[in-house]
A and B are shown apart, each in its own frame.
Chain A
Amino acid sequence: MTVELDAPPRATPSWTRRHLLGLEDLSAAEIETILRKADDFLEVSQRSRKKVAALTGRVVLNLFFEPSTRTRTSFSLAARRLSADTVDFTVTGSSTSKGESFIDTARNLEAMGVDVMVVRHSSPGAPHLLAQHLNCSVINAGDGAHEHPTQGLLDVYTIQRSKGRVAGLTVGLIGDIAHSRVARSNIHALTKLGARVIVCGPPTLVPPTIRRLGVEIAHRFDDILPQLDVVNLLRVQFERQRKGLFPSIHEYAALFGMDSQRLRRAKDDVLILAPGPINRGVEVTPEVADGPNSAILQQVTNGLAIRMAVLYLLCGQRSAERQANENAPVRETAETP
């Protein structure tokens, strides 16, 4: 791969969006554009000098209203590798505790000259609300149980890199489907790219209406396990669900946890994913998480490339266009009467 990323970036014609709010709205072509761009940036991550100049002078703000280490760090690092300035703003005991609304908080921060706002919030739709009220680009880094588009992208990207394709594979999403934004973003991306998706969990955590998104529903992990090319073990969202949806962690782990016994019944080359943070011993046992089928750490590496690709497409490309416009000669004005 010999892409000259330090040179002024070439425009990618199939990308026109200003925000990334969810994968439901994206076309398969747009998802593929992001994945192709991620290939370029994965190469950057392997260099010793892991930096390109694409977003020099741009400001990326991580506005997190929910705790996060992985996603926030990944976005920060992605922005810095693109030479953007980054600011992290985590709201716990900050302005919202003084009564300021979250829109006001975001508008104030935007007024400091922000180009991209990466937003995580416990309320579905919060990034959409900001996209309406702000002029900068907004990236949804997880909104309640709605979507987590970059996680969905990095999951399909990891599948594609490991399996060479997504179309035609059977992917199992296991566990707390009802409260999982990762499940929704995965479903949108996987179905658009032609995978067969089976969601599997206790009926209290799998809304039956999800079938209408083009997925199959199962409740017994062991029945579907042998068919799966990919197993994505979703975290139990203790913070988002009410009590009493399953009797105990112990029973959940027994029914839906991925352990070495289950691994033996799966396909030899089954790919194990987990969006993390994983509850070891609940969704997945340590020997599986750290075993040869696990791609959990590749997901993290790939996530960085995906986030660089998204930042680049939303912001870098537009800034390249803007630069081109700024440098363009202004002869039309003289000719207008």
Chain B
Amino acid sequence: MTVRRFHAEIGTAITTGALGVAAIIGAAELGTGWSDHGPQPGYFPFWVAIVLIGASLWNLGGAVAAHLKAQRTPPDPLDDPEEPFLPRQNLIRIATFLGAMTAFVIGMLTVGFYVAATFYIGLTAWRQGGFRLWKGLAIGAAFAVSLYLIFETIFQIPLLKGPLEPLLGIY
């Protein structure tokens, strides 16, 4: 089954509505009414969440209505809720990019920013850009070193480090 645009619309509306429900649950614990000191802490989030749920329901209804209408009459080619949300080709591109990015985040947390960035940039250039592996890694390393100079030397902001940096005498 391909994900069509109205599926995405419906999914988004349900998610934003769920966020509203979560906020109501959180706000209810704090009290959503009035006390002697004015509104209780949960008052503001509670009413904002009510509005959010209302707007989400409206969008949900709108998406369903557009879907039903498109099934009865030939849809507007420029604004067709039945068109695939992400064609296969685009989906693959997004998934690859997101996968690499997630790996980079995990890398940052385990081996530190500099090593993770070197490999992330190097491997992407190698696998997708058609560069030689050593060339990609060299570009990545040059990038990491320049960020080190900018952040840690000039601005004195430490970035995440892993097990490698102490071995090189960098803390």
State yes or no: do A and B come from one complex.
Answer: no
Binding site for B on A (CB under 8 A): none
Binding site for A on B (CB under 8 A): none
